[in-house]
């Protein structure tokens, strides 16, 4: 399958007159170059779509649960001799 990348070059005066049309084309995925005297000076391109669902925490997704005692102090016996507590 061959995908063709379509880019349109328009002069600034034309872009001002037909901005809403070019924005619709941009939303559809097209890139538009804005030109001054037929020399490209800017690019109008679509932004990435925001993520619609929250991402799971890590690879576990909903399988991981925080244990109720996760914030209890670590016992001194867990430290090696000479480590600060």
- Could you report the per-residue pLDDT of 35-85, keeping only the tens digit for each? 999 899 999 999 887 777 776 667 766 677 788 988 988 887 887 776 665
User: Does a structural domain hold residue 43?
Assistant: yes
User: Does a structural domain hold residue 2?
Assistant: yes
User: Does a structural domain hold residue 52?
Assistant: no
Span 3-23, average pLDDT:
84
User: Does a structural domain hold residue 67?
Assistant: no
User: Does a structural domain hold residue 25?
Assistant: yes
Q: How confident is the model at residue 15 (pLDDT cuts 50, 70, 90)?
A: very high
For residue 73, give both structure tokens. 């102090």
Among 3, 10, 16, which Cα is nearest to 43's? 10
Contact status, residue 8 vs residue 32, Cβ threshold 8 Å:
yes
Span 29-35, average pLDDT:
92
Predicted TM-score (pTM) of this structure:
0.51
User: Does a structural domain hold residue 36?
Assistant: yes
For residue 1, the model assigns a pLDDT of 45
- The domain of 16 spans 1-47
User: Does a structural domain hold residue 42?
Assistant: yes
CATH number for position 37: 3.40.1620.10
For residue 49, give both structure tokens. 């779509």
Number of domains making up the chain: 1
User: Does a structural domain hold residue 64?
Assistant: no
Helices (H), the chain: 12-17, 19-27
């Amino acid at each position: 399958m061959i995908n063709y990348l379509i880019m349109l070059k328009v002069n600034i005066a034309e872009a001002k007159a037909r901005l809403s049309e070019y924005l619709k084309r941009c939303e559809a995925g097209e890139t538009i170059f804005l030109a001054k005297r037929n020399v490209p000076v800017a690019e109008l391109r679509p932004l990435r779509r925001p993520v619609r669902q929250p991402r799971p925490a890590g690879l576990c997704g909903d399988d991981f649960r925080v244990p109720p005692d996760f914030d209890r102090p670590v016992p001194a016996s867990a430290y090696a001799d000479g480590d600060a507590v």
